[in-house]
Amino acid sequence: MTDPQPSASIRMDALAAHLTEAAAAWAARLGLPQDGEAQFALQLGEAGLQLVELGPQAPGPVRVDFVEGAMAHRRQFGGGSGQMIAKAVGVQPGVRPRVLDATAGLGRDAFVLASLGCEMTLIERQPLIAALLEDGLARAAGDAEVGAIVARMRLLAGNAIELMGAWAEEAPQVIYLDPMFPHRDKSALVKKEMRLFRPFVGDDLDAPALLAAALGLASHRVVVKRPRKAPVIDGPKPGYALEGKSSRYDIYPKKSLGKA
């Protein structure tokens, strides 16, 4: 399946005169115009890159921030290795698996795992989201506390199915998948992000192929995050699942994660 094509118009804006050159570089990389009417804008400001819907009734911008806000709170108070995602990927005393997050999005789940000590590779195929994530990682790298965490996060932009099929380095022990559809998260933050991203991303209709590629590459297990009541992805059935209040982790074990 080819990557989803944008169904909405978007332009690149610089929010300060001294950022015009850097904004032009992003526009060239992403093939975005820098003027004209548009429904959305990718903006470069003092706080980094952000995606915003234009118009009087539009929600606020979305950007990646690993240092402050929700991610800082989760890093400090999220439950550490007792979190369900940590259990799902196999974090345990003495074991911090190498994880490939093949549907990285804005990098929240990968950041949680990196904060617990996992070496993370992230793949994001939508160029706008990959740009936001790249910018967020670059800004966080300079933070005294968070820099060591994002140093464990490597970003690859491209189609995950193709990248996994052509993988030439050591296989990841765990591959983590969180296909966009059919999530039903009702939080205001996620609803705002979905409103912004849906015109550019669409639904992950190739989830079965994504699962097949992951099962072919992972050395130890594949983990798929799903809404709690959603059906499993078409293909082999998971070995078991971990269920929370709103989400479920379907786990496809291949072999046990031994201690490092």
Sheet of 40-45, strand order: 10-14, 40-45, 48-53
Alpha-carbon distance of 61 to 243, in angstroms, equals 32
Q: Burial, 98: exposed, middle or buried (Cβ in 10 Å; 0-12, 13-18, 19+)?
A: middle
Residue 92, helix vs strand vs coil: strand
Euclidean distance between CA atoms 175 and 103, whole angstroms: 10
Largest pairwise CA distance in the chain: 56
Q: Positive or negative CA dihedral for 43, 49, 55, 56?
A: negative
User: Is position 109 annotated in a ligand binding site?
Assistant: yes
Instruction: Confirm whether residue 124 is marked as ligand binding.
Output: yes
The three-state secondary structure class of 101 is: strand
Among the residues of the chain, which ranges form H helices?
A: 20-30, 70-77, 84-89, 108-115, 127-141, 147-150, 160-165, 188-201, 207-217
Known binding site for S-adenosyl-L-methionine: residues?
108-109, 124-125, 178
Known binding site: residues?
108-109, 124-125, 178
